[in-house]
Amino acid sequence: MSSESEEQHDLSPRDSAEGNDSPSSGIHLEPQEESSTDLKQFETNDQCRPYSRIHIERQEKANTNFKEFVITKLQKNCQCSPAKAKNIIFGFFPVLQWLPKYNLKKNILGDLMSGLIVGILLVPQSIAYSLLAGQEPIYGLYTSFFASIIYFLLGTSRHISVGIFGVLCLMIGEVVDREVHKAGYDTARIASPSGVFSNGSTLLNQTSDMICDKSCYAIIVGSTVTFMAGVYQVVMGFFQVGFVSVYLSDALLSGFVTGASFTILTSQVKYLLGLSLPRSNGVGSLITTWVHIFKNIHKTNLCDLITSLLCLLVLVPTKELNEHFKSKLKAPIPTELIVVVAATLASHFGKLNENYNSSIAGHIPTGFMPPKAPDWKLIPNVAVDAIAICVIGFAITVSLSEMFAKKHGYTVRANQEMYAIGFCNIIPSFFHCFTTSAALAKTLVKESTGCQTQLSGVVTALVLLLVLLVIAPLFYSLQKSVLGVITIVNLRGALRKFRDLPKMWRVSRVDTVIWFVTMLSSALLSTELGLLVGVCFSMFCVILRTQKPKNSLLGLVEESEIFESTSAYKNLQTKQGIKIFRFVSPLYYINKECFKSALYKKTVNPVLVKAAQRKAAKRKIKEETVTLGRLQDEISVQLSHDPLELHTIVIDCSAIQFLDTAGIHTLKEVRRDYKAIGIQVLLAQCNPSVRDSLTRGEYWEKEEENLLFYSVYEAMAFAVGSQNQKGICVPNGLSLSSD
C-alpha cells in the first residue's frame, strides 16, 4: 500500500471508501474478464455489528460587512511603500532579480554558445518567414531582434526562444493580403504624384514626401495587427484571464499547428516553382491555391525548381543527421546558413535573376527605420483577427515556458509571461515588426546548446544586429525559392505528428478525434476558422463525456473498507438488500436523465414498481369483488407495500464534482420515488461543494442531516443498522412499531 493510502487509512479507515481507485493500493484486485460476476455475500447476523458515526462540527463563519471588506481591500492595494514599489518593479522586470546574481563562471559559456547558434539560425529563418507574413525580409530581422531584447527584460523562462513563429506568420500574412487587396494594391499599376492609382484607389502617405507603396502598406497592416494582439495579451494578463488557454488542449494545439503547416507548405510551393500567383484567402484557400498551381504549372521557372531540389537534397538529410547525432554534437551544424550563403553566391555570380528571371530577395536595407505608430484607422478591420493571433501566441508561449521550467526544476509565472509576450508585440509594432511568440524548434536548439539564462537572448540579438547593420545587403541575390525550402523543411516536426497518431489513439480516442477535426478544419477551411472549430468541438467532447458518463454498482473488497466496481473486479462482497451506485460525472441539467435511467437500470425502477403494485392491487380487488370503499382502501394500501428484496440504495458521490439546480431536483425526485416503494436512498462521500449545494437546495429536512455519510462503508453500516433496530428487520427497510 502506498504511503498516502496508509496515512489515510490510519487516520480514518472509514473515509477511504471510494476515493482510492488507484491500482497502486495494497489491495490487489483481479479485473473482471466477463460481464457476469460471481459475487460473495456478507455473512449476516441477527444484529449488525456496531459502527460509530462520524461527526464533524462546522466552523462558524464570521459575519463580514461588505463595505468594510471593500474598504480594507482598497486600503491594502492602494497603500504605497518603498518595499511594495520595489516588489512591483522587480516583479515586472524579472531580469533585475536574476541578473545581479548571475554566475559568470558557470553560465556564460553556455549562454554565449546557445545565443550565437540561435542567432545564426534565425537569420535565414527570419528572412524566409517574412515572405510567409507578406513582408519584406528586413522586417523579419527587426522582429526577431526586438523580441529577443524585450523578452530578456520581462520573461521568466530561462530557456524559451521568442521570435518569429510559422503559424503566426501565416495568420499575419492572411490578414495583410486581405487588407492589401481591399486597398487596391493588387490591381493598381501606376501611382500619380497625388497619391492616387490610375484606377482610383487611394494610397497612404509614409511621409509628406514619399508615397506608401505595397510593401509599406503591408507592414503598416502587420504592425497594426501586432499592436492589437499585444494589447489583448497585456489586458488578459492584467485581468488574469490566462485560463482561456485551458480551452486549448495539447491535442487541439498539435492538430492546429499541423493543419496550419499544410497551408504554410502550400503557400511556399509557388516560390519553389518560381510561379507568380495571387495569394488565396478565406475558406478553402488551400484547395484554391493548389488549383492555381496546377493551372500555371507550365510556367514553372526551371532555375528556381532546380535550386529548390538541390536545397532540399542538402537540407533534409543534414537536418536528420543533426537530430540523430544531437547528443554527440556540441552544437547543431548551421546547415541553413551554409545553404543561404552558397545559394546567394551562386545566384550572384551566376546572374540567375538576369539570365533566367529567377525571383530574388532584392535590396535589404541596413540600419533601422524611424519608429511609426500603427494605423489607428485600420484597427476596426483587424481587431477580430488579432484575437485568434493573441490566443495562439500566448498559449504556445505559456505552454512551452511551463514545459521547460518543469523539465529543469524552476518555476515560471504564467501571468508575467503574458505581459512579456504582450510587450514583445506592442513595443516592436512601433518599429515595423509583426507578431512573435515562443517557437519549439528554436527553443530545443537553445536548450541543447547549453542555454542557462535569457542572457543568451541578448547574444542572439547582437548577432541579428550585426546582420541588420552590416551584412543584410549581401543577401540581395538570394533566391526566394531557397527561402521557401527553408520554411518547408522546418515544418517537418509538425508533419511528423502523424507518426504519433497510433499511440494517441491507444491512449485517448477522444483526443485523437479532436486532433483530426482541428487539423482538417485548419487546413481545409482557414486557420482562424480551424481554431474556432477545434475549440468548439473540444468543448462538445467534454460535454459529451459528461452526458453519458460511466456508472456502476460497487462491491466491498474483502477484508477492507474499499468499494470497487462489480463489473470490473471479481470476488467483491455485496450485502443483500443494499445496492451501492457510483456516478462518475457532475450531476447537472445535461446528464440528469442519464443519471436516473442508469440508476433505475442498475437497481429497480420505482415508477414501474409503483405502477405494478397498483395494477396488482386492482386485480386482487376485482377477484375478491370488494365493494366497500373503506375496505378497498385498506387492501390497496396493504398490497402497495408488499415487501421488496431491495431496501437501501447508497449513492457514492465521490466522483460527482458539483450539482446544479437540475441535479438537486433530480436527487430529490429519485429519493421521493424510492421512498414511495419503501426504499431509502443514502448519499455518501459528498465533497464540500456538493454538500453545500444540497443544503442550499433543501435536499433534506433539518432532522435528516445525519443521513449524509462521509464514507460508503459508514452508509452501508447505517443501512444494516436501520433494518435491525428494535430487533425487527423487514426486507424493505421500514421499521415497524405497534403504534
Q: What is the CATH number of the domain that holds 710?
A: 3.30.750.24
pLDDT band at residue 495 using 50, 70 and 90 as cut-offs: confident
CB 229 within 8 A of CB 386: yes
Q: Within a domain: residue 635? A: no
**Backbone phi and psi for residue 31, each to the nearest 5 degrees, phi listed first:** -60, 150
Position of cell 447508497?
650
Query: Region 204-230: what's the mean pLDDT?
Result: 75
How far apart, in whole angstroms, are the C-alpha atoms of residue 586 and residue 568?
Answer: 22
Residues 166 and 310 in one domain: yes
DSSP 8-class letter at 50: P
How far apart, in whole angstroms, are the C-alpha atoms of residue 315 and residue 322?
Answer: 10
Q: Within a domain: residue 709? A: yes
Residues 109 and 133 in one domain: yes
pLDDT band at residue 229 using 50, 70 and 90 as cut-offs: very high
Residues 411 and 334 in one domain: yes
Query: Region 474-490: what's the mean pLDDT?
Result: 83
Residues 597 and 451 in one domain: no
Report for 20-24, 68-72, 406-410: range of highest mean pLDDT: 406-410
Instruction: Indicate the residue among 543, 560, 588 that finishes a domain.
Output: 543
Q: Within a domain: residue 632? A: no
Q: Within a domain: residue 205? A: no
**Backbone phi and psi for residue 582, each to the nearest 5 degrees, phi listed first:** -115, 135
118 strand-pairing partners: none
Instruction: Indicate the residue among 516, 543, 570 that finishes a domain.
Output: 543
pLDDT for the residue numbered 274 = 83
Position of cell 505528428?
497
Per residue in 201-218, is it b (16+ CB within 10 Å) or e — as a string?
eebeebeeeebbeebbbb
* Portion of the chain with pLDDT greater than 70, in percent: 79
Q: Within a domain: residue 91? A: no
pLDDT for the residue numbered 153 = 92
317 class by beta-carbon count within 10 Å (0-12 exposed, 13-18 middle, 19+ buried): exposed
Instruction: Indicate the residue among 527, 543, 559 that finishes a domain.
Output: 543
Q: Within a domain: residue 477? A: yes
DSSP 8-class letter at 707: G
Q: Within a domain: residue 675? A: yes
Query: Region 622-644: what's the mean pLDDT?
Result: 52
Does the structure show a pLDDT above 50 at 735?
no
Q: Within a domain: residue 313? A: yes
Residues 341 and 240 in one domain: yes
Query: How many domains, the chain?
Result: 2
How far apart, in whole angstroms, are the C-alpha atoms of residue 468 and residue 142?
Answer: 8
191 class by beta-carbon count within 10 Å (0-12 exposed, 13-18 middle, 19+ buried): middle
Residues 581 and 528 in one domain: no
Q: What is the pTM of this model?
A: 0.69
Residues 538 and 398 in one domain: yes
Per the structure block, which three cell numbers stand in for 575?
450485502
Position of cell 463595505?
67
Largest CA distance in the chain: 118
Q: How does strand 40-41 pair with strand 680-684?
A: unpaired
Per the structure block, which three cell numbers stand in for 283?
475558406
Position of cell 541553413?
336
Residue bearing the bigger pLDDT, 59 or 444: 444
Per the structure block, which three cell numbers stand in for 579?
445496492
CA-angle at 643, arms to 640 and 649, nearest 5°: 105
SS3 readout for 193-217: CCCEECCCCECCECCCCCECCHHHH
Distance from chain centroid for Cα 379: 28
Q: How does strand 680-684 pair with strand 578-583?
A: unpaired
Residues 122 and 138 in one domain: yes
Q: Which domain holds residue 529?
A: 99-184+213-543
DSSP H or E segment with residue 684:
strand 680-684
CB 715 within 8 A of CB 654: no
Q: How much is the CA Rg of the chain, to the nearest whole Å?
A: 35
In this predicted model, what pLDDT tens digit does every residue of 160-215 receive, in sequence order?
889 888 888 888 988 998 888 888 776 443 333 333 333 333 444 333 334 677 88
Q: 152: helix, coil or strand? A: helix
How far apart, in whole angstroms, are the C-alpha atoms of residue 7 and residue 377?
Answer: 65
pLDDT for the residue numbered 46 = 40
CB 418 within 8 A of CB 178: no
DSSP H or E segment with residue 580:
strand 578-583
pLDDT band at residue 22 using 50, 70 and 90 as cut-offs: very low
Ranges 18-27, 360-369, 430-439, 593-602: which has the least confidence: 18-27
Residues in the chain: 739
Residues 556 and 481 in one domain: no
Does the structure show a pLDDT above 90 at 577?
no
pLDDT for the residue numbered 244 = 65
CB 549 within 8 A of CB 13: no
Average pLDDT score, the chain: 78
Give residues with Cβ within 8 angstroms of 481, minimum separation 6.
Answer: 271, 272, 273, 274, 304, 305, 307, 308, 311, 358, 359
DSSP H or E segment with residue 260:
helix 250-273
Does the structure show a pLDDT above 50 at 2?
no
pLDDT band at residue 458 using 50, 70 and 90 as cut-offs: very high
In this predicted model, what pLDDT tens digit does every residue of 553-575 receive, in sequence order?
888 888 788 888 888 888 888 88
Give residues with Cβ within 8 angstroms of 378, minimum separation 6.
Answer: 179, 220, 221, 224
Residues 389 and 450 in one domain: yes
Q: 101: helix, coil or strand? A: coil
CB 21 within 8 A of CB 554: no
In this predicted model, what pLDDT tens digit does every residue of 337-396 receive, in sequence order?
788 888 888 888 888 888 888 888 777 788 888 899 998 989 998 999 898 898 888 888
Residues 332 and 434 in one domain: yes
pLDDT for the residue numbered 53 = 64
Residues 452 and 523 in one domain: yes
pLDDT for the residue numbered 210 = 45
pLDDT for the residue numbered 51 = 56
Does the structure show a pLDDT above 60 at 440?
yes
Give residues with Cβ within 8 angstroms of 681, minimum separation 6.
Answer: 648, 649, 651, 670, 671, 674, 675
Does the structure show a pLDDT above 80 at 636?
no
CB 716 within 8 A of CB 579: no
The identity of residue 101, as a single letter, is: K
pLDDT band at residue 426 using 50, 70 and 90 as cut-offs: very high
